[in-house]
Each structure stands twice: as C-alpha cells, then as structure tokens.
Structure 1
C-alpha cells in the first residue's frame, strides 16, 4: 500500500482526478436526494405527516454529517495520516532486521472495536428515549405518535453511519475517494427503493424504514475496499513489535465531538422554533435548506479531497504547505459557493416550481419555500467557510496520536481545543436570539435569517482562531479574495434576476436564462477583479486554445 502524498508533493492532476470522481458521485447522490424530497412532497405534501417524518429525520440528518463528514472525519483522517507518516518513518528509520508493528493495523485494532460498542449503545438509547427526543425537538406537534415511531426506526442510523464514517476516513487518508464518494448514492438509492414500493402500505413510515436500509447499505459498500487495504498491510509478530502504537487523547477528543454536535444544533433550533408556527413551516424550511445547501456541499467537496493532504502536511510538520493549501481551498470554496448563491438569489422561485410543485405541493408552498431559500442563501458562504476552516484546525492536535511521536507544531496551547466549540455556541446563541425575535413576525423567513446571522459569527471567529492554532493565514489576502468573489456574485445575481424575468411563467426557461447569465457574469466579473480562482483557469484555457488557433492560421484554415 503506497504512502499517501503530502500537501507539498501531491500534484494538481491528482487533486483534479480525485475531485472529479468525488464531484461526479456527489452530484449523483444529490440528484437522488432531490428525487427523495420530490417523492416526499408528492406522496405526503407539506403537512403533519411530512413534519412527523422530518422530526425523525433529525436523527440521520445529525448522524450523517456528524459521523461521516464531521466528527469522524476530523478525528480519523488526521489519525490515519499520522499512522501513515509513522509507517513511512519506520520504513526509513529502522534497520531492516528490526520489524515494527504496522501503525495502521494498530490504529484499527485500538479504535474500531470500542467505537462499534459505543455506537451500538448510543443507537439503542436513541430508540429508547424517542418520545422525549421528539418532545424536545418539536414540542408543538399536535400528534407526536408518528414522529416517535419514525425516530425509533431512524435510530439505527447512528450505528451504521458511525461505522461508515470510520471506514470512509480510513479510505480517504489512503487517497481512495471513489467508494466514500458513492455513500450518498447508495444511501438515497436505499431510501428511494423502500419509499416507492412501500409508501401506500406503510405511509410516511416507509421513508423512515428506507433511511435505515440506506444507512446499512453504506457500510456494506465501504467494508470490502477497507478490508482489502488492511489485508495488504504486512503483519508483524507481536513479540517483536516496537512501541509506536496509537494513543487516544480524551481531552482532544471531546472538543471535536462538541463542535460537531453544536454545529448540527442549528437544525434543532429551526425545528424547535418552526414547530410553534403554522403546519408546513418545518417542511418549507427543510425543502429550502436541502436545495440551498447543494452549493455549499459542492464547494466543500474541494476540502474533502484536500483534507488528507493538509492533515498529512501537518503530521509531517510542514505548516507552510498546510497554510498555502488552506488559502487555496478557501478561495476555491468561496468561488463555488458564491456562484451558487447568485444562482439561487436569481432563480429560486423557478427552481422550486420545477422541483416541488406537483401533487400535494401547491403554489403557496412553492412561494414560501422559494422565499426561505433566498434568505438561506445569504449565509451559504459562511457555512462553507466554517466547514473549510475546521478541518485544518483539528488536524493540528489530533485526538489519536502515535505513542512516541512528538505533537505537531502549533499544538502547544491545549485550551485552544475548545475555541471552535465556543465559536459555534456563540453563533447558536445569535441564531436562537434572532430566530426567537423574528419568527413571530416573519415566520420561516425570520428563522432562515437567524441561521445566516449565527453562522456568520462562527465563521468569522474560526478564521481568526486558525491563526492562533499555528496555521498563520494571510488574512488580508484571504478577505480580499472573498470580497472580490462576493462583488462578482452580487453582479451575477442582478444579471441572473433580470434574465430569469424574461421567461415569464416558464420556470425551465427562467432557470436556463438565469443560470447562463449568472455563470457568465460571475466568471467575467471575478476574472476582471483579479480573482485567481477564475483568472488562472481562464488563462490556462486560453493557452490551450491558442496553439490550435495559430496552427489554423498557418495552414490557412
């Protein structure tokens, strides 16, 4: 099994290939997720049944990002990166006749069994306390019974998603991205299969059963490639093992879990405040956020690919390479998410009509969802920046270390471990305060605005805190780049709105006209303002086309 490349040595072609595979499969998973939401809207509309399922959906909606993309990735990608770095050190730093324990095998043996036991206990506890959980999440539900039943079924996802997240982190650290990227595809395929075949028989409970089935399929997908990589590692006799074994640091583990839980608490606040508003409010918030967050998800695919490179650079002590990679990632993330934000601001009504307005989902639901989506989109940049900044932050002091390895540079102040949790809690306080004040007057729009305000506070604090952690970002460069991209997004949104209005009542035409205008104006404006995220690709494209044009002139074509 080859050693993973570092941030300094990984070539752009590797990153491009990995990003291409990840983006393609993520897009397929997102399309299936949209189809899932379309079927929910078609079969059950935006009423009490859908609200009941969406309350239970809070469990997998929390478990999936927490255990697959957030906490488990923050914990295990740096851990496996350290194990790979230790393996490389053992190969080059020990005489051939002194074999040492393979750090990767030792890491798996020390962490996977206790993790499975803890996840199984947590899954059982979630099912047992489902009535209390539903009451806490949505105290205003008039009939909580269906929500409790669905929550007990979706509690199974805690175990399966946790194991899936562990396997996914291990594979990504080894730079295998295909199977982890297909997780969302398999998960949504399982949901769709059960939903389409059983919705008349089980009602909205079919959606909960589909969630449980889909989560089990994700673990089954990743287990074979994980075992293949583990089997390819040479075994070493136990009697001759050295002491380079993994050590779990609880003090560094707790902040990772704390941050991930508090980040997901934004959803809890939305459901809590929305349950006091008219029926259908939670559904409007859900559909709007699902579509709006596609832009954020697409932007963070960049960090999914580069996170192992950053973690490996930090494990090797190369903080300059880590800083350069993070700055590039922030620029690329901003470019993707702000272009998507401009599109949503311009075309939200047409998008919602195309996706959802059929069956029990009527024009009033479309109008309410589109309005919420536009407000949500204002905070998308800061949602993406939060996701991009937290990955290198937790890599500087990983919760799982190699026993005799020195801590990476920048980990000298352990109290900073809790800084992201404090930043997230302050953001949640802003979210709750603004939402509680605005919801009675502005309804779902007030809740969406509160979400944007809270995450803006968190992202700003994390941007400052990463410098304190040892990765000295050049803030003037980073903020200047984001300002140029934001100006381009504002111009693109205005142009897209004007173009979409020309389509009249035809939503598909509005999306095509608005999307084309947004893409063209955003690209041109960002390049004109000097954004390297757009100028560099355009310059490369020009260089690629120029020889062809010169050759045509030489040959008289």
Structure 2
C-alpha cells in the first residue's frame, strides 16, 4: 500500500474518532463548563495520557517499531512471535508496577502535576479520588498502543486508527447517562476513562489474532527486548518533548485564574485535530518505511520518504494553521458556546488556541523528523535536542509570561503559556531538521523550497480573505446554533476555495501536485 493511500486510510479513520471527540467536548462544555471540578478532571485525565505517550505512543512505539521491522526482515516467523510475546510480557509487568505506584501516591502526584490545587483542599481531594480511578487506564491504553504498533508494522493501519472511538463513546455515555447518578457528576467522567481503556484493548486483540500474532505474555531475558529498552530509555524524553511542554502549561495554569486549565484543554483539543488526523497518520506510515529503508541502507528511499512527508505536511498544515488562528473565535463559539460555556470562556480559549496554532506547523514537522532518527535507531540525538527545547520553553516563559502576569495581573496569562510552547516547538523542529541534514540522512528535494514558497503565498492570501470576511465576535454570540454552523461552513469552504485558487496561480497545479505526492510507495 502506498504512503498516500495508507495516510488517507489512517486520516479517515482518525477523523471519525475526532468528530466523535468534538461531540464529546461539546457535551462536556455544555454540561460541565469551565469550573474547579472540570479543571480537576482535565488534570487527572492528562496524567495517564502523558504517561501513555511516554510509555506507548511516544518512546515505546519509536523504539519498538524499528526493532520489530528488523526482526520481520531478518528473522524467522517463530523468532518474530517470540520477540512479540516477550515484549508484551515485559511491558505489562512494568505497567503494573507504574500503575500501582501511581494509585498509591495519587495525592502526591496531584501536587506535582497541579500544585495550584493546594489552595483548594476540596479540589485537590476530588482530583486525587479521580486519579485512583483513571490511573489504570495507563495499563490498558499502553497495551493498546503495543497492539496498534504491531499492526502498523504489518501494514494494518485502519483499525488502530479507529480504536480511540471507544474513548469518545465511553465519555459521551458517562456525560449523558451516568453523570446524573453521581453526587459529584464529574466523577462519571473518571469511570468513563477507566472503561475506555479496556474497550480499546479488546477491540484490537482480535485483529492481532488474525495475523497469528496474538501475544502470550512471556518473561525472561531476550535480546530484542533488551535492544528495545536500550532505545526506549532515551526516547522516553525525546519523543515526548511536545507533551512535556504542554504538561508544563497545565502545571502553571493550575496556579492561574480558575478555568485556565479548562481553557487550555479546549484550545489544545482543536489544535490536536490536524495533529491527530494528519500528523500522527503520516508519522505512523513513514516510521516502518524509514526503518526498512535504513535496514537496507537505501539512502535514496529514506530521504525521498522524508521529503514526501514534508510536502504533504506543509500542503495541509500551513493553511490549517492560518485557519485556526483567524477563525479561532468563530470555531469555538460554534462548537462550545452553549449552556455553561459562555462568551468569556470562548474569548479565553480563542486566545490560547491562536497561540498554540502558531506552532502547529512545527508540531507537525516534529512528527516527520523525529522518526528519521528513531528509524536509524538513534534515540540520543532527539533527547539532546529535546533538552534544549524544554530549556527554551522555560526561558521563553520567564521572558514573556512572568512580565505578562506582572503587567496584567494574570489576566489571560494562559495564552502566554500557549505562545511560549509554540515557540519552543519551532526550536525543537529546527534542531531536528538541522542535525538530520548535517548527518546526510536527509537531503532536501531540489524542488522543495519552491514548493514551500508556493504554499506560503497561497496561505497568506487565504488568511487575508478570511480576516476580511469573518463577522464580528458579538455577531457569533448573538446568533443561534444553525446560523453559526452555516457561517462557519461558508468561511471554511470559502477559505479552502481561495487557497486552492491561489495555490494554482502560484504554480501548484493539480496534476503536478498529484505526481509529487503519489510517487512514494
């Protein structure tokens, strides 16, 4: 299956999940709004998700897939299955220990991840109680990521991309059906997260069984497991830099105005849409291909795959970035401004969303360049770069956010947190690209720079037209839901049309563009 077709498959499956995710978030906003209780839930929800990305979708996947690809290329089927069994057993054992420690130390974990909650004992106690329920989610979702990584390595991309649908279904059920039965309604969301992990794991296991790769946990020393762990330990930091920076935002937001954690959550959700639909899809598809190219020492295929990923990412990422910045308030008013979620919440989320969106191209390109290192089984360089990015993030916050809080009394300081995280992402991406090129692993396509200029020109024209066309914020607040939806659809459709025409005039002719994007198989 070609890269374009595989990416389209993952994107379409992910889009189904993301649409349900927006339904979920619209219900959360309408039913729960932005309150101390929702701030507590979003912090609690972020903790196992952060660790999941550390253990599973981040470090583990980046270390496991290259080793699995190597076993698939060079070893027998029995040796491959033995490696999968030992890896599954080892991962499960480690997760049991981590989950046990997390549950036993829940109040301390809350203090570390949300120190601002210490000023409100009731909020801190609620968060600790929810964490006892949600922390086992880490066990199930990390094993789900193991199953998804194995399926991806064998070219089965669809069902792993669809699996997150069960998280959204579970939380929607918790919001609409279970919440009224709880003394503290937000507790239903914690149980929704718990059951979502179980549903996602058991959704994927039958597909592994069809390949004859259903793991039977085995323990003991194994060369492949040791190699994966050796690659994973530094990758635990390098693959999760973006998440670490976002986590720093949550920690600091817990010390700001009530609602700041929730505002950052909703803004991050919209920026995560293109990251999930396109960024993760492309990254997932290219990692096995890059790993196989490196195993064959095929430098041309390696570099060609990266160039394809860059073009595809920029073609979609730049206009989406501009759209999220320009249409932040209309999108949020249409999706969330109902019930307990008011116009002030919309304004605050829009500020953070626009700031995060400025870093969207960097977030996307990091997902293209980081696999270039992991496929070469180099996990140390991204760690060093990641340390620089985290340091840059903290320096930016000291330079921008602290004076902001002093001058404006903390008003909208959460937007400053988002802006500095976006800036750190550009530092991270720039260093990844520089070192991959310096080591001759990546050679930019001769036509790449012209392509970038053409896409940028079309994006700027589209942004200018949208700025001119969008109604004032007060008109969105006063309009009913159907009117908001109609305006938003017209703006997005019109923006896409302007982008397509501007791109064509800039030289991005459809036939030539198709040839560039479909030629990597």
TM-score calculated relative to the size of structure 1: 0.82
Flag the 1:121–1:339 CA change in 2: closer, same or farther, 3 A: same
Taking the aligned partners of 2:332 and 2:59, their CA distance within structure 1 comes to 32
1:76 to 2:64 alignment? yes
Give the alignment partner of residue 354 of structure 1, picking from 334, 342, 347.
Answer: 334
The residue aligned with 2:80 is 104
TM-score calculated relative to the size of structure 2: 0.87
Mean alpha-carbon deviation: is it higher for 516-525 or for 422-431? 422-431
The residue aligned with 2:192 is 210
The residue aligned with 2:351 is 371
Give how far 1:39 is off: 1.7
* 1:224-263 alignment, distance < 5 Å: 224-230=206-212, 247-248=226-227, 250-263=229-242
Flag the 1:333–1:213 CA change in 2: closer, same or farther, 3 A: same
The residue aligned with 1:552 is none
Give how far 1:244 is off: 9.1
- Contact kept in structure 1, 2:81 and 2:213, CA below 8 Å: no
Taking the aligned partners of 2:276 and 2:7, their CA distance within structure 1 comes to 13
1:344 to 2:337 alignment? no
Taking the aligned partners of 1:259 and 1:244, their CA distance within structure 2 comes to 23
Larger Rg: 1
Q: Which deviations, in whole Å up to 9, do the C-alpha atoms of 1:365-422 show, x marking residues without a partner?
A: 11221222122211100111111111121110168xxxxxxxxxxxxxxx63643433
Structure with more contact order per residue of length (Cα contacts < 8 Å, sep ≥ 6): 2
1:513 to 2:513 alignment? no
Taking the aligned partners of 2:223 and 2:416, their CA distance within structure 1 comes to 53
Give the alignment partner of residue 135 of structure 2, picking from 155, 160, 176.
Answer: 155
Q: Which deviations, in whole Å up to 9, do the C-alpha atoms of 1:337-357 show, x marking residues without a partner?
A: 212112222322111111111
- Contact kept in structure 2, 1:430 and 1:453, CA below 8 Å: no
Q: Which deviations, in whole Å up to 9, do the C-alpha atoms of 1:131-179 show, x marking residues without a partner?
A: 1111122222223111111112111121111111111111000001122
- Contact kept in structure 2, 1:269 and 1:432, CA below 8 Å: no
The residue aligned with 1:412 is none
Q: Which deviations, in whole Å up to 9, do the C-alpha atoms of 1:26-59 show, x marking residues without a partner?
A: 0111111112211211221101111010110112
1:528 to 2:494 alignment? no
- Contact kept in structure 2, 1:419 and 1:465, CA below 8 Å: no
Taking the aligned partners of 1:297 and 1:210, their CA distance within structure 2 comes to 21
- Contact kept in structure 2, 1:527 and 1:535, CA below 8 Å: no
* 1:198-347 alignment, distance < 5 Å: 198-202=178-182, 203-230=185-212, 247-248=226-227, 250-300=229-279, 301-347=281-327
Taking the aligned partners of 2:453 and 2:54, their CA distance within structure 1 comes to 30
Taking the aligned partners of 2:245 and 2:510, their CA distance within structure 1 comes to 30
Flag the 1:449–1:125 CA change in 2: closer, same or farther, 3 A: same
1:49 to 2:37 alignment? yes
Flag the 1:220–1:515 CA change in 2: closer, same or farther, 3 A: same
- Contact kept in structure 2, 1:347 and 1:510, CA below 8 Å: no
Give the alignment partner of residue 39 of structure 1, picking from 19, 27, 38.
Answer: 27
Taking the aligned partners of 2:307 and 2:517, their CA distance within structure 1 comes to 20
Taking the aligned partners of 1:231 and 1:131, their CA distance within structure 2 comes to 39
Secondary structure at the aligned position of 2:115 is classed as coil
Flag the 1:15–1:250 CA change in 2: closer, same or farther, 3 A: closer
Aligned residues: 493
Flag the 1:211–1:132 CA change in 2: closer, same or farther, 3 A: same
Flag structure 2 segments of 5+ consecutive residues without an equivalent: 216-221, 477-482
Q: What is the aligned-residue RMSD (CA, Å)?
A: 2.8
